[in-house]
Amino acid sequence: MNDAVIVAGVVPAEVVMPRDLDELAEIVRERYARGSTFAFVGGGTQLDLGNRPSGLDTIVRTTALDRVIDYTPEDQTITVEAGMTLGALDRILAEQGQMLPLDAGDRERGTIGGAIAANLAGRHRLRYGTVKDMIVGVAIVRPDGTPSHGGGKVVKNVAGFDLPKLMVGSLGTLGAIATATLRVYPAPEASAFVTGAFEDDDGFVARDAAALSAALVRERLEPVAMWASSRPDGRYRVTVEFAGSGVAVEAQCRACERLIAESGVSARSCASDSDEGERETRARYASAPRIKTGFPPASFAPLDELIRPLIDGDTTVLAYPGVGIAVIRPAASVDHRALLAAIRKREDMTAVVEAMPPQWAADVDAWGNPPRALRLMRALKTSFDPRGLCNPGRYVAGL
């Protein structure tokens, strides 16, 4: 098969698409036996994440593996093959009034396996966490073609080695995710957004946006999301999203409007059918370059103070103060090396290049400073993939 797939700028020699899980294991077994390098791709929405692979003979595309293995709505769990798209899963769950609150830039392309491998998370992380909080069990094909599994169909199953959590964020370097069992949630009755700085003449500075995030906790409000999007003048437009019963959503919106007004910023509520959520998704998953920063939730203001002298009005910042994440899209005029170095110099902050433009690849490491757990990570990689053939070089420190 000759699908066009480019992984971090590298074109593989071949692309193969297994039709079932047995064929997936056989394909992996054959490549490993002959010493070929290989990687796994689902919908291809995260191919700019990570460094250039050091070798890539074969792409194993998993999109044909899209069956439901088991679905028990009353237990709020579902087991699906890794190639199922998030959009297809949405439609299955919606029939039972349930949902998987995992954000993605393109739900009709993004797959379950890819979401797990890339540790996908967006604005709803504030309420529901990341995929690590939703995964219950997993079946994988190890790099030598051996099937393995961990976890189960019970949400509280924590016995033994936590293979499901290990696969989250592994970027396909430890094997292919074959199936996943996920915890699902009741779909809310209603949802709405409250925006601050709707008018052009006011807005939040980073310090006030962080204070609003703390005030929401203090007032015992329960937003499912809160984000701050930068404007060219350095101020931020803040959006808070609520979901639940209609009465609860309305009451929380009124309370949130009051908190924003106390900050001296204009506010308004809008229904769930507005484009607020789509606007955030477009900004969150915009094309390269895209840098994701991590910081203590109380340190959004220090992050803003750190990066503000290094960026310009054409740079966009999308921050989630409540969870300590920000996404920066530096303008072409910005010295991206200086920006990355300044963030990575701080012990309490991290910077990962989520989407690497080709011109950065020669002198930028996507992951930055190796973590303290690097020795353990190397040991795990060696245990799973002693020949170093599975997606080599893409991950931290060349793993």
Task: Report how far residue 153's alpha carbon sits from residue 135's, in angstroms, rounded to the nearest whole number.
Answer: 10
Please state, in angstroms and rounded to a whole number, the distance separating the CA atoms of residues 104 and 110: 7
Residues 254 and 353 in one domain: no
- Is residue 247 located within the same domain as residue 350? no
Give the CATH number for residue 145: 3.30.465.10
Task: Read off the CATH number of the domain in which 263 is found.
Answer: 3.30.70.260
| Residue 48 CA, distance from chain mean position | 13
Report if residue 146 sits inside a domain: yes
How do 290-294 and 350-355 pair as beta strands? Answer: antiparallel
pTM: 0.93
pLDDT at 1: 45
Contact 165, 177 (CB under 8 A): no
Task: Note whether 195 and 270 are same-domain residues.
Answer: yes
Query: Do 109 and 217 fall within a single domain?
Result: no
175 and 85 share one domain: yes
Instruction: Give the residue from 171, 122, 134, 102 showing the smallest Cα distance to 290.
Output: 122
User: What confidence score (pLDDT) does residue 160 get?
Assistant: 53
Determine, yes or no, domain membership for 111.
Answer: yes
Query: What was the pLDDT predicted at 200?
Result: 64
Same domain (yes/no): 207, 117 = no
237 and 134 inside one domain: no
Give the end of a domain, one of 151, 166, 186: 186
**DSSP letter, residue 255:** H
Residues 301, 214 share a domain: no
Distance CA 325, CA 306 (A): 15
**Whole-number Å distance between alpha carbons of 116 and 385:** 19
CATH of the domain at 346: 3.30.70.330
The answer to whether residue 395 sits within a structural domain is: no
For 18, other C-beta atoms within 10 Å of its C-beta total: 22
Residue 90 lies in a domain: yes
Do residue 165 and residue 79 come from a single domain?
yes
Q: Are 338 and 356 in contact (CB under 8 A)?
A: no
3-state secondary structure of 59: strand
Count how many domains the chain has: 3
User: Of 231, 254, 280, which residue is a domain's last?
Assistant: 280
Are 111 and 179 within one domain?
A: yes
- Tell me which residue range forms the domain holding 310: 287-360
Do residues 264 and 199 lie in contact, with contact meaning Cβ atoms separated by under 8 Å? no
**Domain presence at residue 320:** yes
Q: Decide: 291 and 328 in contact? Cβ < 8 Å.
A: yes
Q: Is residue 257 part of a domain?
A: yes
Q: Which of 255, 280, 305 is the last residue of a domain?
A: 280
Averages of pLDDT over each 10 residues, the chain, 399 residues = 75 96 98 97 93 96 98 97 98 98 95 96 94 96 96 58 91 97 97 84 89 95 97 93 96 95 88 83 92 95 97 96 97 96 96 93 92 94 97 94
In a domain, 342, yes or no: yes
Whether residue 180 is found in the same domain as residue 257: no
Looking at the domain assignment, is residue 41 inside a domain?
no
Both 220 and 316 in a single domain? no
